[in-house]
Amino acid sequence: MVPMNKRAIILLTRLPAAGDVKTRLMPRLSGTACADLMWALLADLSPNLRGAEGDLFVFYTPSGPQSTVLCLRELLEPAACLRQQGENLGQRMHMAFTHVFRQGYSACLLLGSDTTLVSREDVVGAWQVLGRHDVVFGPSEDGGYWLVGLKEPFPSLFLRQNYSHNRVLEQAQAVCISYGLSTGLAATKRDIDTWDDIHYFRKSLDREKAPHLYRFLQGL
């Protein structure tokens, strides 16, 4: 198993600013409502990441009002909060992993903030899979992945990759195989990006598992 005192969890997120997050839900939701949705997702995720066996690093984009950054820091305290670096998603993931590995960590999990119902047990399960494999992925229902875990930097997994199709996970696994690396899978999750996702979770969401998102959806 990976030593517990050398683990880090990386969260990539956009600052919840009106008109700059969850834009695929506009105009059915206002820019302010989309920002509120982002805050709800982060509020439900925060306690589960803080208790999931790893130091938390939050990489956010874009630059924004200091008040918004402070709210993010307070919500995810005691996480280290840093600006994302890189021109596209692949570069931003690679740069986040590189930064954290340079701090001396021997294993890192990276996830985004769009995924619902990520529990502490899901993250602990991902650590267990990474203990048995070189790379762990958390599959998304849309063919991508909501989580990836590594034991060392792996630039080829992220650079020059395309993330705008439904075979992202399949493509990533093929890259790992081409380098002789074993992969394992964590729990499958569903993002909340479209109105169909809103409709699905509004009908099926368990209030106890995601109280902030539940209140947001029921208030629509």
Q: Which domain holds residue 81?
A: 4-218
* Contact indicator for 49, 108 with CB cutoff of 8 Å: no
* CA gap 6, 34 in Å, rounded: 36
- What domain count does the chain have? 1
As a whole number of Å, the end-to-end CA separation of the chain is 44
Q: Per-residue pLDDT tens, the chain, 220 aa: give them.
A: 544 458 999 999 999 999 899 999 998 999 999 999 999 999 999 999 987 789 999 999 988 788 899 999 999 999 999 999 999 999 999 999 999 999 999 999 999 998 889 999 999 999 999 999 999 999 999 999 999 999 999 999 998 888 878 899 999 999 999 999 999 999 999 999 999 999 999 999 999 999 999 999 999 9
* CA gap 14, 154 in Å, rounded: 23
* CA gap 119, 30 in Å, rounded: 28
pTM of the full structure? 0.94
Residue 105's CB: how many other CB atoms inside 10 A? 21
CATH of the domain at 8: 3.90.550.10
